[in-house]
Amino acid sequence: MWDDSWEMAEGHADEAPRVLVAVVPSVADWERVCQEGWYRIPLRRTPRRIGAAYLAFYHPKCFDELRWAIHYYAPIRRYSVVPRRELLPEDVDHPRGDDLYYKLELGSLQRLPRPIPSLRLRRVTFIHTDLAALLQASEIGDLWRKEAPRERLWRGLQLSEPRALYGASIA
């Protein structure tokens, strides 16, 4: 879950540091990031791989001038798992107060050289990418890892059964 041997399994050992892009669901959550230096992810909604060196922030519609784009990122300093009521003591009576959350403690916010807009309407929750792609992207679609056709075919062959590749007539 933390890294799933990402470097070894996918051959990314010499590449740029990993980045997790996460949606900022509300203005209050963004204020916590800016003022208190942490971000939360419900354990039940955590992506399969959460380990990363940086967290980048996608802002949805409720953010006016920041909306539908990534403008900021920050280094992740520490992960911890805590109940919601500990993270948000002002909401102690919340129905999900006992739910567990990852608390990602962050370093200083860094503004991207240029915003990364979402040019097509898409629902963003988490995107796994790397720092080089984040710094070079001109739109959100550039953040997803592109796989060469030969690598995609080889991965497909490894995951498929012979029957699926050659038809049902093969025993």
Round to whole Å and give the CA distance between 61 and 68.
6
Residue 171 in any domain: the answer is no
Query: Quick one: pLDDT band at residue 104, thresholds 50, 70, 90?
Result: very high
Give the number of domains in the chain. 1
Tell me the residue range of the domain where 51 lies: 14-166
**127: which strand partners?**
21
Residue 148 lies in a domain: yes
Q: What confidence score (pLDDT) does residue 3 get?
A: 44
Residue 157 maps to a domain: yes
Q: Tell me the average pLDDT across 45-52.
A: 87
* pLDDT one-digit tens code per residue, 58-97: 999 889 888 999 999 999 999 999 999 999 988 878 888 7
End-to-end CA distance of the chain: 37
Q: Is residue 6 situated within a structural domain? A: no
pTM of the model: 0.76
Q: Which domain CATH number covers 159?
A: 2.30.130
Instruction: Dump pLDDT digits (tens) for 117-152.
Output: 998 767 778 999 999 999 999 999 899 866 556 666
